[in-house]
Amino acid sequence: MDDAPLKIGIAGLGTVGAAVFRLLEDNGALIAARLQRPVRVTAVSARSRKDRGLDLSKVKWHDDPAALADDENVDLVVELIGGAEGAAFDLVRKSLGNGKPVVTANKALLAARGGEILRLLENGPENGKRTLSYEAAVAGGIPVIKALREGLVANEINAVYGILNGTCNFILSQMRGTGGKFGDVLKEAQAKGYAEADPSFDIDGIDAAHKLSILSGLAFGCVPDPASVRTQGIRDITGVDIAFADELGYRIKLLGIARRTARGIEQSVEPCLVPKNIPMAHIEGVENAVYIDGGHAGKILLTGAGAGGSATASAVVADIIDAARGGAGLPLFGRADPQTMQTADTAARTGSYFLRLTVLDQPGVIADVSAILRDCRVSLESILQRGRAPNQPVPVILTSHETLEGDMLKAAEKIGRLGSSVEPPHLMRIETFERDPLQ
């Protein structure tokens, strides 16, 4: 065993940073035995010196996170600050410039500034590792990054998709299980620590879009482009949607989907109806799931804890150990010269759709709706309405046969302009995962 410890500097002592510190302490002997070298936290930086229940008596404190990059008693930097700007990027840039390996859980940084980080890795000093590892940036403790970068490196990936945000999955699971309204279940998620005081990043799909962008970059050898991900959150999901979806044999999940198509890479984050008889429908609570169409390796489903301090810390420490072994030297996004992502317009994709209307219960309304669908070349599979309320708003659920998404969007817009339409139509994709991605 090498007696010289690997000296770690941690920037950010929030939920994940504190969990990394504890994991390295609690499993220190086990990690040293497996690595054949002890790992020791020698320096930290955080916004405040409040008591976090950590013994920092033997650790150097830096008020400025960037100082970790210059600390001669730090071999490897762990960036857990978050965000694509400011202190996080400054620390990563300076650490790589000094030839120090970096481990991060920062999905926003990778998604928004992946190209810049690539250039930093390419143009760093000749000495030093110049590596950046980011297993914890996507799906918490699920080793999806290693699966794509290492386990499936011999395969051409056709598609990657999954449940990438535990907050949204918890909310949708609770709404279905308890019948609670979106706002009430969101408050429950906040009380349990599953959602932030400002939950927009999660419930509007932005967090999942960042994660999907990173997975797309890896799967297809491209620099991530989160702006090209069609993004829709779950704010508009109602109990009516969940009940009718259940009656039709589906469950609603917020899915991130990236597919290789003849038109380019198709990317979306949106609530979808998935059949009850597939595993993805049964991922509940804050769990995540990632499905990979792995070419010769076949179809692979990875599930597990997608968030939380312990699960994310596990992924961070795995990257630390890998870097200490001399690993993580693989190309950042699956190839030495990642391409600019050629994105496909999702309006050109085909599929079946679920459309919830809120219309006045009057004679002729369904005829008007049917005429619009006919003119927009949308073929109906079913129409559902429960109960009567003459001249009052009622929900009407339509499902379509496979159709062009652009035609479906046009039809929904026109229906929303009818005098009988009380609320904007709500459209969701029915995703069965049976299509050939290269069609």
Question: 105, 133, 161: which is the final residue of a domain?
Answer: 133
Percent of the chain with pLDDT over 70: 96
In a domain, 1, yes or no: no
In a domain, 321, yes or no: no
Say yes or no: 242 and 334 in one domain. yes
pLDDT of residue 2: 65
CB crowding 350-377: b at 16 or more within 10 Å, else e = ebbbbbbbbbbbeeebbebbeebbeebe
Residues forming the active site:
211
pLDDT of residue 204: 98
Neighbours of 5 (CB within 10 A): 16
- Among residues 90, 146, 147, 138, the alpha carbon closest in space to that of 113 is found at 90
Say yes or no: 245 and 127 in one domain. no
Comparing 201 with 3, the larger pLDDT belongs to 201
Lowest mean pLDDT among 89-93, 128-132, 387-391, 427-431: 128-132
Domain that holds residue 374: 347-430
User: Which pLDDT band holds residue 307 (cuts at 50, 70, 90)?
Assistant: confident
Query: Does 341 have pLDDT greater than 60?
Result: yes
pLDDT of residue 413: 97
pLDDT of residue 216: 95
Q: What are phi and psi of 128, to 5 degrees?
A: 95, 160
- Say how many domains are in the chain: 3
Say yes or no: 109 and 151 in one domain. no
pLDDT of residue 438: 41
CA 255 to chain centre: 9
In a domain, 438, yes or no: no
Q: Kindly report the average pLDDT of the chain as a whole number.
A: 92
* 372 token code pair: 């619009």
Say yes or no: 259 and 380 in one domain. no
Say yes or no: 65 and 176 in one domain. no
Average pLDDT over every residue of 331-341: 78
pLDDT of residue 16: 93
Residue 408 sits in a domain whose CATH number is 3.30.70.260
- Contact indicator for 205, 231 with CB cutoff of 8 Å: yes
Query: Does 434 have pLDDT greater than 80?
Result: no
Average pLDDT over every residue of 265-290: 95
Say yes or no: 197 and 228 in one domain. yes
Question: 82, 98, 133: which is the final residue of a domain?
Answer: 133
pLDDT of residue 436: 45
Q: Encode pLDDT of 288-304 as tens digits.
A: 999 999 889 999 999 99
* 180 token code pair: 């609670």
Say yes or no: 24 and 158 in one domain. no
Average pLDDT over every residue of 152-160: 92
For 55, residues 6+ apart whose C-beta sits below 8 A from its C-beta are 25
Say yes or no: 119 and 216 in one domain. no
In a domain, 318, yes or no: no
In a domain, 323, yes or no: no
pLDDT of residue 328: 60
Say yes or no: 296 and 173 in one domain. yes
Lowest mean pLDDT among 322-326, 349-353, 429-433: 322-326
User: Which pLDDT band holds residue 362 (cuts at 50, 70, 90)?
Assistant: very high
pLDDT of residue 61: 96
Residue 85 sits in a domain whose CATH number is 3.40.50.720
In a domain, 439, yes or no: no
Question: 321, 340, 359: which is the final residue of a domain?
Answer: 340
Query: Does 256 have pLDDT greater than 70?
Result: yes
Question: pTM higher than 0.85 for the full model?
Answer: yes
Residue 270 sits in a domain whose CATH number is 3.30.360.10
Say yes or no: 45 and 99 in one domain. yes
Query: Does 68 have pLDDT greater than 90?
Result: yes
Q: Encode pLDDT of 78-131 as tens digits.
A: 999 999 989 999 999 999 999 999 999 999 999 999 888 988 887 765 545 578
User: Which pLDDT band holds residue 1 (cuts at 50, 70, 90)?
Assistant: low
In a domain, 39, yes or no: yes
Say yes or no: 102 and 244 in one domain. no
pLDDT of residue 386: 81
Q: Encode pLDDT of 257-274 as tens digits.
A: 999 999 999 999 999 999
Say yes or no: 387 and 299 in one domain. no
pLDDT of residue 439: 40
For 80, residues 6+ apart whose C-beta sits below 8 A from its C-beta are 10, 11, 12, 13, 14, 16, 17, 20, 104, 105, 106, 316
In a domain, 258, yes or no: yes
CA atoms of 323 and 43, how far apart (whole Å): 18
